[in-house]
Chains A and B, each alone.
Chain A
Amino acid sequence: MDQELYDLITKAKQRDKNAFEALVERYKKQVYYQAVAMLNDTIEAEDVLQEAFLKAYFSLENLKSPFAFTSWLSKIVYHLCNDRLKKRYKEKAVVSDWLTNKIESIQDSNLPIEQKQLEMDLYQALQSLSPEHRSAFLLREIQGYSYQDIAKIMDVPEGTVKSRIHTARMTLRNELKSQR
């Protein structure tokens, strides 16, 4: 962690709004990607992003060490998304808004045909994973967390993280192969 980030977190802990705004600017992408990956819905992901930063701002003083900020924030996002997934499961709503929008935006983009097809295949293959497998896998792939950090974020043993990531990779690979 660089000194600038350490100072920002320390100032934000004392309710310095400018410092917190700089943190939002720095982490918004990471939070948004994590929420989209877990919820597969851009509108809900935006809500989670706002909720997560709001929660982070008001409970930042409880964070013991500034070094733990990144994984602490990911944990907040993970729990918020999980709550929404549980609610969604209860309502039995099938949301595939993000996937549909993404596929449309890929089709409209100027990417080469092969790349377009590949991205669409990847998105579709990601949907075949359960939220637990998708979350563990994307926390590793997109955010670059270690298995130990992911275990802390998801409140599961490290062995479970290892097997979830492995299963996710195997499923994705098989899905991509069957689409070709």
Chain B
Amino acid sequence: MQHVDHLLSAYVDNELKEQERLVVEKHLQDCTDCLELYGDFTWMNGQLKNTFESLLLPKNITSKVMQGIHSHEEQTYREVPVIFSYTALRWSTISSILLLLVIHISLFFLLGSLFSFTPIRILYHLVHGFHTVFSAIPYLSLTVAIFCFPLIGASLWSLRLLLSSKKVEMQQ
């Protein structure tokens, strides 16, 4: 007779498949060794539960946990200066972009006279040449434009994700 001791533990825990369960139950009717093992396993279950339930919890543990949370929060907020808050970060990004734009445009107007300067002229002609080639190939501008939209979308989405994760980090 083949013993089923390797299945008994899972049987006690009701974790056997139906077929295995039937094999164990049939075997237990005839085998006293396995039946004894089954009896020991079920007896241990009850005893262990009783033993752990007699374990006393530390005093005032809930208030200690909540106090820990309060002091952790206070400490975190103290550590993060206001300058690094999410709003400040957002506004500083926007103002940096605007500032760059303003500088760029004013440079364009102020240094317009520099077009007579040779490197700038070369650059101008290069851009002009690039534009001519670009418009000569049919559908190229359309393809690039279509390709650009998801790219811009993905960039905005990742920027938003980055900023929101920064927000969580700062709040913690």
Contacts and interface: CB of A to CB of B under 8 A. Distances in A.
Partners in one complex: yes
B66 A173 contact: no
Contacts of B69: 17, 20, 53-54, 57
Interface size class of A (residues with CB under 8 A): 35 or more
With most chain A CB atoms within 10 A of its CB, the pick from B12, B13, B41, B54 is B13
Interface string B123-135: 0000000000000
Q: Interface range on chain B: under 10, 10 to 19, 20 to 34, or 35 or more?
A: 20 to 34
A180 to B, nearest CB: 12
A180 B35 CA distance: 20
B72 interface: yes
A75 interface: no
Nearest to A29: B57
Question: Per DSSP, are chain B's interface residues mostly helix, strand or loop, or mixed?
Answer: helix
B143 to A, nearest CB: 40
B47 A53 contact: no
Contacts of B13: 140, 147, 165
Contacts of A166: 6, 8-10
Interface in A130-180: 138, 140-142, 146-147, 162, 165-166, 169-170, 172-173, 176
Interface in B33-68: 37, 40-41, 44-45, 47-52, 54-55, 57-58, 61-62, 64-66, 68
A169 B37 CA distance: 10
B172 interface: yes
B48 A50 contact: no
Interface of B: 6, 8-10, 12-13, 15, 37, 40-41, 44-45, 47-52, 54-55, 57-58, 61-62, 64-66, 68-69, 72, 168, 172
